[in-house]
Chain A
Amino acid sequence: MITTSVLFLLALGFCAAALLAVAAVFLRVEEDPMLARIEEALLGANCGGCGYPGCAGAAQAVLAGKAGADVCVAGGPEITARVAAVLGLEALLAEPQLAFHDCFGGPRARERYFYEGAPDCRAQALLGGGAKNCEVGCLGFGTCVRACPFDAMVMGPRGTPVILEGKCRACGVCAQVCPRGVLSVVSPAARILHLNQEDECLAPCRQACPAQINIPQYIEQALKGDYAGAVCTLKERNPLILSIGRVCPAPCEGSCRRGAVDAPVGINMIKRFLADWEMAHGRVCTPIAPETGKKVAVVGGGPAGLSCAYYLRRLGHSPTIFEWQPELGGQLRYGIPEYRLPKRILDWEIEGVTSAIGVAVRTGLKLGSDFTLDSLRAEGFEAFFLGMGAWLNWSLDIPGEDARGVWQGTEFLTEWALGRNPPVGRNVIVVGGGNTAIDAARTTRRTGARVTIMYRRTEKEMPANAVEIHAAREEGVEFLFLAGPTRVIADEAGHAAELEYIEMELGEPDASGRRSPRPKAGSETRLPCDMLIPAIGQYPDTCYIEEQSPACELTRRKTVAVNPDTMQTAVPDVFAAGDLVSGPSLVVSAIGGGRRAARSIHYHLLQGEIPVPATLLRKPMPHALFTDLEGVGHIPRVEIPELCAAERVCDFREVEHTVGEAQLRHEAARCLRCGSTCYDADDPARPGLLSREEFEQARAAGRVAS
Chain B
Amino acid sequence: MKDYLLLIVSAVFVNNILLAQYLGNCPFLGCSKELGVALGMGGAVVFVATLATAFTWLIQTFALAPFGLDYLQTIAFIVVIAALVQFVEMFLKKAMPPLYTSLGIYLPLITTNCAVLGIAIIAQRKEMDFVTAVIFSAAAAAGFLLALLLMAGIRERYEVTRIPKPLQGTAIGLVTAGFMSLAFFAFSGMI
Contact = CB atoms under 8 A, between A and B. Distances in A.
- Interface size class on chain A is 20 to 34
B90 A23 contact: yes
A633 B53 CA distance: 80
B63 interface: yes
Interface centre among B75, B82, B83 (most CB of A within 10 A): B83
Given A27-B93, A176-B169, A20 B30 contact: no
Nearest to B164: A179
Given A23-B91, A176-B169, A48 B67 contact: no
Interface string A597-622: 00000000000000000000000000
A208 B132 CA distance: 78
A122 B169 CA distance: 29
Nearest to B64: A8
Interface in A228-280: none
B31 A53 contact: yes
B68 to A, nearest CB: 8
Contacts of A27: 90-91, 93-95
A569 to B, nearest CB: 38
Contacts of B105: 53-54, 56-57, 60
Nearest to B75: A9
B80 A12 contact: yes
Interface string A161-194: 0000000000000001111110000000000000
Nearest to A8: B69
Contacts of A31: 93
B87 A12 contact: no
Contacts of A512: none
A13 B79 contact: yes
Given A8-B67, A178-B165, A181-B165, A54 B87 contact: no
Nearest to B27: A53
A16 B94 CA distance: 19
B67 A4 contact: yes
A19 interface: yes
A184 to B, nearest CB: 13
B83 A29 contact: no
Interface centre among B63, B75, B91, B105 (most CB of A within 10 A): B105
A53 B109 contact: yes
Contact of A5 (B31, B72, B82): B72
B69 A12 contact: no
A577 to B, nearest CB: 38
Contacts of B188: none
A176 B168 contact: yes
B87 A19 contact: yes
Interface in A1-60: 4-5, 8-9, 12-13, 16-17, 19-20, 23-24, 26-29, 31, 48, 53-54, 56-57, 60
B21 interface: no
A5 B79 CA distance: 14
B109 A23 contact: no
Interface in B5-51: 30-31, 37
B7 to A, nearest CB: 30
B106 interface: yes
B76 A29 contact: no
Interface in B105-148: 105-106, 108-109
B176 interface: no
B165 A179 contact: yes
Contacts of B72: 5, 8-9
Nearest to A24: B90
Contacts of B69: 4-5, 8
Contact of B108 (A16, A28, A56): A56
B124 to A, nearest CB: 16
Contacts of A24: 90
Interface centre among B69, B91, B106, B169 (most CB of A within 10 A): B69
B98 interface: no
Contacts of B79: 9, 12-13, 16
A12 B30 contact: no
A29 B93 contact: yes
A176 B76 CA distance: 42
A60 B93 CA distance: 14
Nearest to B83: A16
Interface string A494-525: 00000000000000000000000000000000
Nearest to A59: B105
B83 A48 contact: no
A562 B37 CA distance: 50
B189 interface: no
A29 B109 contact: no
A140 B93 CA distance: 52
Contacts of B30: 48
Contacts of A20: 83, 86-87, 90
Contact of A54 (B67, B75, B109, B169): B109
B98 to A, nearest CB: 13
B120 to A, nearest CB: 15
B87 A9 contact: no
Contacts of A53: 31, 37, 105-106, 109
A179 B90 contact: no
Contacts of A176: 168-169
A54 B108 contact: yes
A137 to B, nearest CB: 13
Interface in A661-695: none
Contacts of B63: 8, 12
A101 to B, nearest CB: 15
B164 to A, nearest CB: 9
Contacts of A60: 105
B32 to A, nearest CB: 12
Nearest to B91: A27
Nearest to A18: B83
A29 B94 contact: yes
Contacts of A177: 166
A12 B78 CA distance: 11
B75 A23 contact: no
A359 to B, nearest CB: 41
Contacts of A181: 165
Interface centre among B31, B72, B82 (most CB of A within 10 A): B72
A16 B93 contact: no
B90 A9 contact: no
A179 B90 CA distance: 46
Interface centre among A5, A48, A179 (most CB of B within 10 A): A5
Contacts of A56: 105, 108
Contacts of B108: 54, 56
A148 B177 CA distance: 26
Contacts of B31: 53
A444 B31 CA distance: 79
Given A53-B31, A53-B37, 14 more contacts: A8-B69, A9-B75, A9-B79, A17-B83, A20-B83, A23-B90, A24-B90, A27-B91, A28-B94, A29-B93, A54-B108, A56-B108, A60-B105, A177-B166
Interface of B: 30-31, 37, 63, 67, 69, 71-72, 75-76, 79-80, 82-83, 86-87, 90-91, 93-95, 105-106, 108-109, 165-166, 168-169
20 contacts: A4-B69, A5-B71, A5-B72, A8-B67, A16-B80, A16-B82, A20-B83, A20-B86, A20-B87, A23-B87, A24-B90, A27-B90, A27-B91, A27-B94, A27-B95, A53-B31, A54-B108, A56-B105, A60-B105, A177-B166
Question: Which 9 A/B pairs are nearest by Cβ-Cβ distance?
Answer: A16-B83, A27-B94, A27-B90, A57-B105, A29-B93, A179-B166, A23-B90, A29-B94, A23-B87
